[in-house]
């Protein structure tokens, strides 16, 4: 493949990723980080591909950055745990040697964007009532790999993996066993 073809392929890939992220209602800033496109260009793509698109709302401002919604109930913890397992599967996060903390596979780029889209789409397909938006998935990713406020843990009852608040003591029970216990 000639260098010009390579460049074209890269451009096409970034463009397709931008469209895919726009469909998931990702914020302009998040799309910019993964595609390298300017915010102006992303707004133009959004406007030309989704003119008067009522269902794709452009979100402004910063991404959410709290862990509360991931740990506030067993149900939420279950959703965050599923999504985290999918992050490992698509390779956007890697297990550290102690297999508890997770780290980023690389800097924000097309590969990260594609992996996030794959994980988010699988989560939407697998969960009966998915409530986390793409931006919340993006926030979960940062809680795991940058801020390290969440980590992976293994349930003492069923040995299943789940996401744990790194700074709070829990009973080392996964959300699924927790729900069963209170049923």
CA nearest to 102, candidates 150, 54, 160: 150
Does 93 bind Zn ion (CB under 5 A)? Our answer is no
Which is nearer to Zn ion, 95 or 158 (by Cβ)? 158
| Shortest spacing between CB 76 and Zn ion, in angstroms | 16
Compute how many residues bind Zn ion; rule: CB under 5 A.
6
Contact pick of 18, 117, 150, 155 for Zn ion (by CB under 5 A): 155
Does 177 bind Zn ion (CB under 5 A)? Our answer is yes
Which is nearer to Zn ion, 34 or 74 (by Cβ)? 74
| Shortest spacing between CB 157 and Zn ion, in angstroms | 5
Which is nearer to Zn ion, 17 or 174 (by Cβ)? 174
**Structure-derived torsion over alpha carbons of residues 159, 168, 132, 107, reported in degrees to the nearest 10:** -90
Alpha-carbon distance 156 to 94, whole Å?
23
Contact pick of 53, 96, 158, 171 for Zn ion (by CB under 5 A): 158
In whole angstroms, how large is the CA radius of gyration of the chain? Answer: 18
What is the three-class DSSP state of 162?
strand
Q: Which stretch binds Zn ion (CB under 5 A): 69-77, 86-94, 118-126, 166-174?
A: 166-174
Does 67 bind Zn ion (CB under 5 A)? Our answer is no
Contact pick of 67, 150, 153, 174 for Zn ion (by CB under 5 A): 174
Alpha-carbon distance 136 to 116, whole Å?
11
Cβ 84 vs Cβ 140: under 8 Å: yes
Q: State phi, psi for 103 to the nearest 5 degrees.
A: -130, 160
Alpha-carbon distance 62 to 32, whole Å?
13
Q: Which residues make up the interface to Zn ion (CB under 5 A)?
A: 155, 157-158, 160, 174, 177
């Amino acid at each position: 493949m000639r260098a010009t073809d390579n460049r074209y392929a890269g451009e096409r890939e970034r463009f397709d990723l931008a469209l895919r992220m726009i469909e998931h209602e990702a914020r302009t800033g998040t799309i910019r980080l993964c595609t390298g496109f300017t915010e102006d260009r992303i707004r133009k793509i959004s406007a030309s591909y989704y003119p008067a698109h009522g269902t794709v709302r452009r979100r402004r401002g910063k991404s959410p950055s709290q862990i509360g919604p991931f740990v506030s109930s067993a149900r939420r913890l279950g959703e965050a745990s599923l999504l985290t397992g999918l992050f490992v599967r698509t390779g956007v996060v890697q297990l550290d040697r102690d297999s508890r903390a997770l780290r980023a596979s690389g800097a924000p780029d097309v590969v990260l964007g594609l992996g996030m889209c794959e994980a988010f789409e699988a989560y939407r397909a697998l969960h009966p009532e998915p409530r986390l938006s793409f931006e919340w998935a993006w926030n979960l990713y940062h809680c795991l790999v940058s801020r390290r406020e969440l980590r992976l843990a293994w349930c003492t009852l069923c040995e299943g993996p789940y996401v744990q608040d790194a700074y709070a003591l829990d009973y080392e029970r996964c959300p699924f066993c927790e729900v069963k216990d209170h049923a």
